[in-house]
Amino acid sequence: MIDRRFITYFDWGLLGLTFLLAVLGLLTLYSAVTSSTAAPQKILYFKQMIWYCTGFGIIFFSLFFNYRLLDRWAPVIYVACVCLLIYVLMFGKYVMGARRWIEVGPVSIQPSELAKIAVIIILARYYSRLANTGGLNLRELFTPFILAVIPFILIVKQPDLGTAVIVLLIAGSMTVFVKIERRSLLCIITSCATAVPLVWFFLKEYQKRRILTFLNPDRDPLGAGYHIIQSKIAIGSGMISGKGFLQGTQNALAFLPEQHTDFIFSVLAEEWGFVGSFILLCLFLILIIWGLNIAYRCREPFGTILAVGATAMIFWQVFINIAMTMGLMPIVGVTLPFISYGGSSVLTTLICVALLMNISMRRFPGE
């Protein structure tokens, strides 16, 4: 149960910031799914509201449980998520050339989203026991490498390169935070630099086209380059103050692809312009700084590393999605936290917020 001291430490600021981002996301999604001439799907808006209610319910009920229990249950959570990833490859719902969803009655769950949380928890457990001032060596890094690579490979097989990359970036961020021995770090950097060219041969054809399109969108303006060209047109046409709510022409005329998921930032930028985009980026920046501050104030390794992992997940998704819509990175299918449509994505993001709030409330050992 929650006693008075936890109510005193309750992070109202983080809750308010989360609610503000959720409202902004719902407004943008409403525009994306209702103002388009291409079969408006208002049902997606109401589904998103249900997912948000579920997510905020998770935040509320999670406050009654000590986050330190996750240290004990981390292996079980990790194995369960790996099993779900294997299951989805065998029996998952096949949509647009990928098996990423498991149908549970009327609801579709994306296990790869939950896998990000599992990796954060299992690595926080591992690193909290090994972290030292001298840094981790290659032998100590072997286990976390395997723990991150297993879900990475299973997610790539779906295929879902964007989420798989996020898993590696989360693991990398947590590893850098706990510190790597200098010699080991140089060895890792050299190995990665050597392996990068070899990755090309393992990519699927559509993934290669995305990279080539990123380097030169005009090589196929009506094909592979169409998405990014239309996205940049939408962002640029918003100018300073935007065209106004529900007034975005790129969205309304259905020029924007996947305007309710991957390219929803383009919808927001067209309607609210530079000012609206800047405000959104500021809100995300405050959220990330808030999460890192919670990690800094926590007085035990597991909570600190867990908070870093949760914050890293939000940061990398924001960075990659916005860079992707602006043509600064290849299109890899990463959603924008709080803004893009997607039940599993919303729940995963709000679970991260729940972890941060729980750590903030119980940041002192023994509480």
Which of 202, 227, 253 is at the close of a domain? Answer: 202
For the chain, give the percent of residues with pLDDT over 70. Answer: 85
Same domain, 167 and 290: no
Instruction: Give the pLDDT confidence of 75-87 residue by residue, as tens digits.
Output: 999 999 999 999 9
Give yes or no: residues 361 and 228 share one domain: yes
pLDDT band at 255 (very low <50, low <70, confident <90, very high): low
The whole-number pLDDT of residue 213 equals 67
Residue (of 95, 177, 98) closest to 135 by Cα position: 177
How open is the CA angle 202-208-214, to the nearest 5 degrees? 140
**3 in a domain, yes or no?**
no
* Same domain flag for 97 and 177: yes
Q: Is 2 a member of any domain?
A: no
83 with 166, same domain: the answer is yes
105 & 57 share domain:
no
User: Could you give the 3-state DSSP secondary structure of residue 259?
Assistant: coil
Angle between helix axes 69-91 and 138-156 (nearest 10 degrees) is 40
- Asked whether the beta carbons of 128 and 302 are under 8 A apart, the reply is yes
Domain that holds residue 128: 72-202
**For residue 3, is pLDDT > 60?**
no
* pLDDT at residue 341 tops 70: yes
Number of domains the chain is built from: 2
Residue 60 placed within a domain: yes
Q: What is the pTM of this model?
A: 0.90
Q: Which pair of structure tokens corresponds to residue 232?
A: 């940049």
**What is the per-residue pLDDT for 187?**
87
Of 156-170, 176-190, 205-219, least confident by mean pLDDT is: 205-219
Residues 103, 49 share a domain? no
pLDDT by residue (tens digit) across 103-128? 877 778 889 999 999 999 999 999 99
**What integer pLDDT is reported at residue 251 of this predicted model?**
64
- Under the banding of pLDDT at 50, 70 and 90, the label for residue 66 is confident
Given a cut of 90, is residue 201 above it in pLDDT?
no
Cβ(121)–Cβ(307) under 8 Å?
no
Residue 366 has pLDDT above 60, yes or no: no
Where among 150, 168, 202 does a domain terminate? 202
